[in-house]
Amino acid sequence: MEEYTSLLFGVWFLIGAALVFWMQAGFAMVEAGFTRAKNTGNIIMKNLMDFCIGTVMFVLLGFGLMFGEDTLFGLVGKPTLGIFTNYANFDWSNFVFNLVFCATTATIVSGAMAERTKFISYCIYSGVISLVIYPIEAHWIWGGGWLSQLGFHDFAGSAAIHMVGGICALIGAKILGPRIGKFSRDSKGKIVKVNAFPGHNIALGALGVFILWLGWYGFNGAAATSLEQLASIFVTTTIAPAVATCTTMAYTWIKFGKPDVSMSLNASLAGLVAITAPCDVTDALGAAIIGIVSGFLVVFGVWLLDYKLHIDDPVGAVAVHMMNGIWGTIAVGLFATKSAPYSELAGLFYGGGFKLLGIQLLGILSVGAWAAVTITIAFSVIKATIGLRASAEEEIVGLDRTEHGLPSAYSGFNMLEDDFDTDDYDEETASLITETLEAAGLATPDEAIEVEYAPSQITSAGKPRMTKVEILCKERNLEKLKNALLKLGITGMTVSHVMGCGVQKGAPEYYRGVALEPALLPKIRVDVVVCKVPVQQVIDTAKKVLYTGHIGDGKIFVYDVEQVVKIRTGEEDFAALQDVE
């Protein structure tokens, strides 16, 4: 039976490693969803290369430094290439499991430095983390090094992985500087306003969080050695993030008047990070308290970086990983209890005194100092040689295009859907909508969508009048508008992306409590020239399709056209429009 149990948990250990690898997809989705669309391809590429470069580095040196023969008084493992020289007797399972953990450490840094880092520079420092930074401090904790000899406890990596990744992220974001436009400054250079850059796809970010939560059961539970211990780990790994998310949702609801979606998603990750170290030695009550603190801590962390430290962290990686990694490591010294399966530890609140807490604090200071010093050296060398940050032009255009030659990560996709699925509605419904709007004091379609007529131009006698209709609208309404115009018989139109705003500068919106007040908003401009189709019919159709009653529905401009020439045939005016109208 003992042999069967050992075999069963050996298989589960490898399944857990696969779940941790799958977390790489979660990190990619979270980072991509919480940043702007023009950098999506770059972010996907970085998360792919985290694992691939990390594998090469871990094979060459990292695994030896982590699990090689202990040397230098527990500071480092002796480098070995046993995977090549003695493959038949190599510890394959341990290698794969710790490799995926190593890649996780590197990918945390990506989010905090997103949207303005050179790709080549990212590859280099990601390799350094996997080659040296993570393996050495992980040797102290899990490879038989000096911290493990003292009794330091970090079951699955709140300190070894998340705190280290978060510290590297914090230092990298500070050295790199904020994204263009993140902070507004006065004439003396003093920051007077924090600007929000909402993520372009909250659904993608949410998918990433769910992937990560699933993977975390392997992250925390893979090293379990009994069914009782595994089940207890699953319980604490569920309670902490759930309570953290409820806490953040309630706090942001009270603070900002609405429950914040992206902050609540980050709270789930914060709770998972915090429970990672104590997941095997705490109980349900301890996990709940850890989750409550995590929920507040992630909000505080985002505020601290934005408003006090003025460090730009696009995805909240520092608040989630560094701050909650530290908190989770401290929590071992507070909430460890011998009532947990196979736990021999007792924290301060469970009668264990201050000893364990002191050891945990020593581990935080030593591991944190190692990560901070080594990554600062790495970033400084990269910055002084090949450069760390992309140019302003590259950042504005987007790293997809400038770093990878990718015009768009979403080519061919219409990312936003209309509020209504149908192209039109009957007269009774239209009348009801108008009456309802008037009763509520809201604008009707005729009032909401402005039509501006340009001064008439005198045309040559006998020539039919030609009219250009210029329509400005939201991009999500393009397909609906196009289909409606095609039904009128218009088959020729020009569509372009433009930036602009009216007096209102768009409807007021908020992101993580920060008001969004962009001076220019992205719009679509649709130009059509009509002669045979009645102009008023084009106008009425556009108004009907685009109207929602909200600020930003669009505007329509009407101009007289003096002459049209078809280049291919030389036809002019009415004849030139016949097969494009």
pLDDT digits (tens, 9 = 90+) for 389-443: 999 999 989 999 999 999 888 877 644 443 333 444 455 555 665 666 566 565 5
Q: Is the dihedral of CA 500, 503, 506, 508 positive or negative?
A: positive
* Predicted pLDDT of residue 415: 43
| pLDDT beneath 50: ranges in the chain | 414-425, 453-458, 461, 580-581
* Predicted pLDDT of residue 521: 74
Q: Are residues 391 and 474 in the same domain?
A: no
Say if 411 falls within a structural domain: no
Give the structural domain span for 169: 1-404
Residue where a domain terminates, one of 404, 430, 456: 404
Cα–Cα distance, 224 to 230 (Å, whole number): 5
**Nearest 5 degrees, angle CA 14-CA 2-CA 156?**
35
Q: Are residues 231 and 134 in the same domain?
A: yes
CATH number at residue 92: 1.10.3430.10
Cα–Cα distance, 214 to 206 (Å, whole number): 13
Q: Do the strands 521-530 and 450-453 form a parallel or antiparallel pair, or are they unpaired? A: unpaired
Which two three-digit tokens encode residue 543? 């108004």
Which two three-digit tokens encode residue 35? 């940043």
* Predicted pLDDT of residue 288: 98
Element (H, E) at 334: helix 324-335
Say if 410 falls within a structural domain: no
Q: Are residues 378 and 485 in the same domain?
A: no
How much is the pTM?
Answer: 0.76
Q: Is the dihedral of CA 354, 356, 357, 362 positive or negative?
A: positive
CATH number at residue 479: 3.30.70.120
Say if 434 falls within a structural domain: no
* Predicted pLDDT of residue 247: 98
The torsion angle over the Cα atoms of residues 203, 204, 209 and 213, rounded to 10 degrees, is: 100
Q: Are residues 390 and 474 in the same domain?
A: no
Q: Are residues 129 and 54 in the same domain?
A: yes
Q: Are residues 379 and 481 in the same domain?
A: no
CB 117 within 8 A of CB 176: yes
Residues 6+ apart with CB under 8 A from 311: 170, 173, 174, 178, 305, 318
Q: Are residues 371 and 502 in the same domain?
A: no
Cα–Cα distance, 67 to 95 (Å, whole number): 9
Rg of the chain in Å (alpha carbons): 29
CB 403 within 8 A of CB 117: no
Kindly list the distances between the CA atom of residue 114 and the CA atoms of 34, 58, 117, 188, in Å, as whole numbers in the listed order: 10, 24, 6, 28
Say if 378 falls within a structural domain: yes
Count of CB atoms within 10 A of residue 202's CB? 14
Q: Do the strands 555-561 and 450-453 form a parallel or antiparallel pair, or are they unpaired? A: parallel
Q: Are residues 370 and 479 in the same domain?
A: no
Q: Are residues 236 and 165 in the same domain?
A: yes
- The count of structural domains within the chain is 2
Residue where a domain terminates, one of 404, 429, 454: 404
Residue where a domain terminates, one of 364, 385, 404: 404
Q: What is the pLDDT of residues 29-68, one digit of tens each?
A: 999 999 999 999 999 999 999 999 999 999 999 999 998 8
* Predicted pLDDT of residue 458: 42
Say if 423 falls within a structural domain: no
Residues 6+ apart with CB under 8 A from 371: 133, 137, 163, 164, 167, 168
Q: Are residues 397 and 507 in the same domain?
A: no
**Residue 21 carries which side chain, given as an amino acid letter?**
F
Report the Cα–Cα distance between both ends of the chain, in Å, rounded.
81
Q: Are residues 479 and 336 in the same domain?
A: no
Say if 424 falls within a structural domain: no
Cα–Cα distance, 263 to 246 (Å, whole number): 11
The residues with which 199 forms a beta bridge, in sequence order, are none
Say if 96 falls within a structural domain: yes
* Predicted pLDDT of residue 421: 39
Say if 459 falls within a structural domain: no
* Predicted pLDDT of residue 516: 62
DSSP secondary structure string for all residues of 73-131 = TTTEEPP--HHHHSGGG--HHHHHHHHHHHHHHHHHHHHHTTTSB-HHHHHHHHHHIII
Which of 361, 344, 345 lies closest to 353 in space, CA to CA? 345
Cα–Cα distance, 338 to 344 (Å, whole number): 5
Phi/psi region, residue 405 (left: phi>0; alpha: psi -120 to 50; beta: rest), is left
Extract long-range pairs of 303-312: CB within 8 Å, 24+ residues apart: 306/194, 306/514, 307/194, 309/174, 310/178, 310/183, 310/191, 311/170, 311/173, 311/174, 311/178, 312/173, 312/177, 312/178, 312/179, 312/182, 312/183
Q: Are residues 251 and 387 in the same domain?
A: yes
Count of CB atoms within 10 A of residue 257's CB? 9
